[in-house]
Amino acid sequence: MVTRRTVLTQGLQAGAAFAFAGFADRCLAQQTPTAHPDEMTITSAPHAQKAAPPSTLPPAMLPKEAEVLCGENSLKAHARKHGLVVGAAVSMHALQSDPAMQRLIAEQYGIVVPEGELKWRALRPAQDRFDFTESDALFAFAKAHHLEVRGHTMAWHNSVPDWLQNSSKELDVRQLLVDHIHTVAGRYRGYVQSWDVVNEAILPADGREDNLRKSFWFERIGPDYIELAFRAAHEADPHAKLTYNDYGVEYDNPEESARRVAILSLLRRLQQRKVPFDAVGIQAHIKAGSTSSIGKGLAEYIESVRQMGLEVYITEMDVNEDDLLYDDVARRDREVAATYRNFLSVALANPAVKSVLTWGVSDRHTWLNDGPTHHRKQPNRPQRSLPFDDNYRPKEAFFSIRDCIDERMA
């Protein structure tokens, strides 16, 4: 087996010898043009299979430290032996122009989730139009590389298009949501392992007794938008595992403890009302150097979900290292890796956990660099949050993840 020690030491020795940037440029020049836009009206949407040509994978090489981790040394192969699927969020924009990333994903992962391509803002340029260009390309890529797909997401407060946000109170938003779910989940029926039907519906700070977030969907439809969305998703794709996805359940502190209680009580209400759903997503956007620990609260939360007969997916894992006040890269990488381990050693101990996805693959692209909110303390320092560095070399975090998978008893 190729271990942490062999790869990380060889990596240091090989150092700058690997002219990755030049190689990536050459691959980029070989790219085929992207497909024509696939805009259509609600009623004319064809099934994805007819619409999307399979993407072709130009020859690509990874740095040798990553090449030796392909095949039986990959995360995917290790996960398979322990009843798990590993995956990552991908952005089609980044993927299409980067054959090396395509190879990395195809080699390392068994499942992908589009970072934005299935959100309302991407799919709905206008009330009467869908744009499936990017999402179809993603499904084609997944199909060509035998990857499963997670769908993300049908109802999320943070991806409501402006035309909808500003729409007249006369608009039947209830019907609009149902039609949207029928069209999108119907288009990809049979190709989606699980759908994050509802995302981040809980916000105790909004002050409601049921702890529901006063989101656009809540305000325009009412608390039963959640139930409505799950029922519509079940009608459109009865075989996809329908998932409630949320953040802020990872740490042992009063705030996250309250969030766990609130989410569990939402899940119980849904089950009492016989709402069809199968799984709970734990986003796992965690932090290096946090003053709170990860342990009892997370373990008990996952066990409660298991006892409800639901599966658990780790859906968006990454480690924000903005709080680390030292710049030394090796030290930061060690701390990030330890943070992955802290979380995964607790989460993977429960057999209800079936998959682990990171929110991105390499530090070349992470949402944590995009906005100021994740970057307050080190505004000019790119985050080293993911398993591969920005040249696709594996970091300590890669081996932490793989070791935790190997240690899983389930």
Q: How far is the CB of 314 from ligand XIL (least distance, A)?
A: 13
By CB under 6 A, is residue 115 in contact with ligand XIL? yes
Residue among 102 and 159 whose Cβ is closer to ligand XIL: 159
Residue 401: strand pairing partners: none
Start-to-end CA distance of the chain, whole Å, equals 21
Q: Which is nearer to ligand XIL, 207 or 371 (CB)?
A: 371
Q: Which of residues 33-92 bind ligand XIL (CB under 6 A)?
A: none
Assigned token pair, 158: 């943070």
Indicate the residue among 183 and 358 with the shorter CB distance to ligand XIL: 358
Q: How many CB atoms neighbour CB 44 within 10 A?
A: 8
Tokens linked to 312: 């658990």
Residue 362 touches ligand XIL, criterion: CB under 6 A: no
Are β-strands 194-199 and 279-282 bridged in parallel, bridged antiparallel, or unpaired?
Answer: unpaired
| Residues paired with residue 151 on neighbouring β-strands, in sequence order | 195
Partners of 97 in the beta sheet? none
Task: Tell the smallest beta-carbon distance from residue 367 to ligand XIL (Å).
Answer: 3
How many chain residues touch ligand XIL (CB under 6 A)?
Answer: 6
Between the alpha carbon of residue 207 and those of residues 221, 266, 267, the distances in Å are 18, 15, 19
User: Does 316 help bind ligand XIL (rule: CB under 6 A)?
Assistant: yes
Helix (H, G, I), strand (E, B) or coil at 165: helix
Among 367, 388, 392, 398, contact with ligand XIL (rule: CB under 6 A)? 367
- On whether the CB atoms of residues 86 and 109 are closer than 8 A, the answer is yes
What are the residues whose beta carbons fall under 8 Å from the beta carbon of 179, sequence distance 6 or more?
A: 42
- Number of C-beta neighbours around residue 331 at 10 A: 11
Cβ contacts of 354 within 8 Å, gap of 6 or more: 83, 84, 85, 279, 311, 312, 313
Q: How far is the CB of 133 from ligand XIL (least distance, A)?
A: 17
For residue 155, what are the β-bridge partners? 198
Structure tokens at 319: 């480690």
Burial 243-255 (b: 16+ CB within 10 A, else e): bbbbbbbbbeeee
CB-nearer residue toward ligand XIL: 122 or 305: 122
Which residue's CB is nearer to ligand XIL, number 236 or number 317?
Answer: 317
Site mask, ligand XIL, residues 274-303, x = CB under 6 A?
A: ---------x--------------------
Judged by CB, which is closer to ligand XIL: 11, or 281?
Answer: 281
Question: Is residue 250 within the footprint of ligand XIL (CB under 6 A)?
Answer: no
Nearer to ligand XIL, 102 or 199 (CB): 199
CB of 283 to ligand XIL, least distance (A): 6
Minimal distance, residue 386 CB to ligand XIL, in Å:
12
| Contact status: 116 vs ligand XIL (CB under 6 A) | yes
Q: Which of 306, 299, 307, 333 is nearest to 319 (CA)?
A: 333
For the bound state, the minimum distance from the C-beta of residue 41 to ligand XIL, rounded and expressed in Å, comes to 27
Q: Using the rule CB under 6 A, which residue among 74, 199, 342, 385 binds ligand XIL?
A: 199
**Closest residue by beta carbon to ligand XIL:** 367
Closest to ligand XIL by CB, 108 vs 283, is: 283
Of residues 163-192, which lie at the interface with ligand XIL (CB under 6 A)? none
Count the neighbouring beta carbons within 10 Å of the beta carbon of residue 344: 23
Asked whether position 333 contacts ligand XIL by CB under 6 A, the answer is: no
Positions in 95-114 near ligand XIL (CB under 6 A): none
- How far, in Å, CA of 346 to CA of 337, rounded? 15
Q: Which residues bind ligand XIL (CB under 6 A)?
A: 115-116, 199, 283, 316, 367
